[in-house]
């Protein structure tokens, strides 16, 4: 009975975290799409992030309870990989609350300038991408508990996905969402080099990462 209750709490924590992380990124992007953020939008971001923290706390506490009830689970590679990812989520949360949110607070009802974007954009893109990939990875590993895959293989696949997500998020935010207004000469260059062609290398690189990740799990 105790194990069932702890498992339910663990699933609830993961569900809260995944739901919060899934909602945070669109909310964040919609809040700053015009290079401004209002006080109401910032409060909403704070509230959603607190929900994610609550889910993370529930996952950690229930995970510790699982270890106390079943000490043998600590040798399970999927459980170890999941706990590693939970640690990454916690560290990423410190980055978001320690660096990203304070920078946004300084831009309330003000236009985000080039200095803010040059310094804050990598942090914002990285924190959002790592959060999304990590929570969904933890969810998948929770479903695949006791799956016969080596720890190093799971972590390698996770790190590849996280790295690809960070790069893709930064490119999208820097080249699409916060794309600077082009000069006339730049417009001519874009006409010679269409948008689709410029994104072809990024799409190919993403496809290669996904193929490698799938191949690793089939070994």
Residues sharing a CB contact under 8 Å with residue 10, sequence separation 6 or more, in sequence order: 58, 59, 62, 63, 66, 142
Six-digit token pair at 137? 């990875």
Task: Give the residues of the chain that fall short of pLDDT 70.
Answer: 31-34, 113-119, 176-219
Residue 73 forms part of a structural domain: yes
Angle ∠(98,52,209) on CA atoms, nearest 5? 85
Q: What is the pLDDT of residues 78-93, one digit of tens each?
A: 888 999 999 999 999 8
Q: What is the pLDDT of residues 118-153, one digit of tens each?
A: 667 788 888 889 999 999 999 888 887 777 888 899
Residue 122 forms part of a structural domain: yes
Structure letter (DSSP) for residue 147 = -
pLDDT value for 189: 44
Query: How large a percentage of the chain has pLDDT more than 90?
Result: 21
- Containing domain of residue 106, as a range? 2-180
d(CA 46, CA 161): 27
Residue 185 forms part of a structural domain: no
Q: Which long-range contacts (CB under 8 A, 24 or more apart) does 143-146 make?
A: 144/78, 145/76, 145/78, 145/79, 145/82, 146/76, 146/78
pLDDT value for 108: 80
Residue 85 forms part of a structural domain: yes
- Number of domains making up the chain: 1
pLDDT value for 120: 72
């Amino acid at each position: 009975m105790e194990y069932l209750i702890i498992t339910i709490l663990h699933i609830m924590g993961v569900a809260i975290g995944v739901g919060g992380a899934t909602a945070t990124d669109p909310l964040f992007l919609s809040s700053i799409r015009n290079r401004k953020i209002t006080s109401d939008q910032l409060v909403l971001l704070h509230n959603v992030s607190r929900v994610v923290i609550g889910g993370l706390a529930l996952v950690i506490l229930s995970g510790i309870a699982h270890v106390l009830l079943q000490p043998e689970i600590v040798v399970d590679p999927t459980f170890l990989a999941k706990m590693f990812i939970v640690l990454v989520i916690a560290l990423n949360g410190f980055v978001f609350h320690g660096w990203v949110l304070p920078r946004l607070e300084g831009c309330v009802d003000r236009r985000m300038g080039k200095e803010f974007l040059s310094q804050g954009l990598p942090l914002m893109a990285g924190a959002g991408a790592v959060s999304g990939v990590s929570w969904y990875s933890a969810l998948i590993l929770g479903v695949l508990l006791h799956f016969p895959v080596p720890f190093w293989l799971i972590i390698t696949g996770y790190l590849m996905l996280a790295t690809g997500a960070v790069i893709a998020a930064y490119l999208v935010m820097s080249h699409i969402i916060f794309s600077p207004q082009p000069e006339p000469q730049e417009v001519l260059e874009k006409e010679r080099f269409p948008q689709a062609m410029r994104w072809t290398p990024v799409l190919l690189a993403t496809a290669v990462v996904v193929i490698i990740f799938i191949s690793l799990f089939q070994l």
